[in-house]
Amino acid sequence: MQRPILIVEDDLKIARIIKAYLEGADFRVIHADTATSALEKANQELPLAVILDLGLPDRSGEELCQDLKELGDLPVIMLTAKSSEEERITGFALGADDYVVKPASPRELVCRVKAVLKRTDASSGGERPLSFNQGSLVLDGRRHTLILHGTPVAITPTEFKLLATLAAAPGRTFTRDELVTKALGYQFEGYERSVDAHIKNLRQKIELDSRKPDYIKTIYGVGYLFSGERDAL
């Protein structure tokens, strides 16, 4: 049976509309109207992706996002009336893979779901693992894993795609706009700053000192580059 898309939305009218459009795009859909119910359903059958309303009655959507991410590499699209840039950046910092502001077009939301799933599929393709610094850091796209000094590191699909994009061309500087297009897969005013939030998360996971990074360097006024030394195959 196809893994479902989980809609977490306490407004039943909105949930029905989103569900109808997703099912029209051949997705199987399950729905939860509370954080508690969402976690139960996500544990019962790990969804392909989650559309998460942040204004839930029992817990904050931000807290639920963190709990959902602990279940695995689970793409989360935040759906919220919070529209400021800082609130979007906070959402990405919590591990969100996309952020859609209400009122949202259901057709656009379906496209966003497809884009997130496409990024996830692309980052878990059949390419050979990328190994750097004598095996100190290994990115395995087939298994969608990051190994640091022999230990697996939890990483979101968006973080993996961003790191894989940088690591595929060591020493090349990518602008934020390029990373939005190549790694995040969408283009919208303000999303360039979401790259900074994801880079911050990555540095906390892979750098000994995130303030003096060894792998992901900031090229001030331009963007970022990956400075690991790639191992011979």
Check which CATH number belongs to the domain holding 162 and give it: 1.10.10.10
User: Burial code of 26-64, b = ≥16 C-beta within 10 A, e = fewer?
Assistant: ebebbbbbebebbbebbeeeebbbbbbbbebeeeebbeb
The residue assigned the tokens 């502001």 is 101
- Same domain for 213 and 114, yes or no, is no
Where does a domain end: 123, 145, 161? 123
CATH number of domain containing 13: 3.40.50.2300
- Same domain for 103 and 17, yes or no, is yes
Give the number of domains in the chain. 2
- Same domain for 53 and 114, yes or no, is yes
66: containing domain: 5-123
In a domain, 48, yes or no: yes
Where does a domain end: 88, 123, 158? 123
- Same domain for 41 and 86, yes or no, is yes
- Same domain for 80 and 183, yes or no, is no
Per-residue pLDDT at 128: 65
- Same domain for 114 and 153, yes or no, is no
- Same domain for 140 and 203, yes or no, is yes
Interatomic CA distance for residues 19 and 106, integer angstroms: 9
Per-residue pLDDT at 150: 86
- Same domain for 20 and 80, yes or no, is yes
Cβ atoms of 164 and 139 closer than 8 Å: yes
For residue 33 the two structure tokens come to 């109207």
- Same domain for 148 and 184, yes or no, is yes
**Stated pTM of the model:** 0.57
- Same domain for 207 and 172, yes or no, is yes
- Same domain for 118 and 11, yes or no, is yes
In a domain, 233, yes or no: no
Where does a domain end: 104, 123, 142? 123
Interatomic CA distance for residues 167 and 229, integer angstroms: 9
Strand partners, 100: 79
Question: What is the amino acid identity at position 210?
Answer: S
User: Burial code of 118-127, b = ≥16 C-beta within 10 A, e = fewer?
Assistant: ebbeebbeee
* DSSP structure class, residue 210: T
Divide the 233 residues of the chain into consecutive groups of 10 and give the mean pLDDT of each group. 85 93 93 92 85 88 82 80 71 78 86 82 56 87 81 85 88 87 60 81 90 91 90 67
3-state secondary structure of 18: helix
Q: Determine the length of the chain.
A: 233
Per-residue pLDDT at 140: 81
In a domain, 231, yes or no: no
Per-residue pLDDT at 126: 42
- Same domain for 78 and 160, yes or no, is no
Interatomic CA distance for residues 184 and 196, integer angstroms: 12
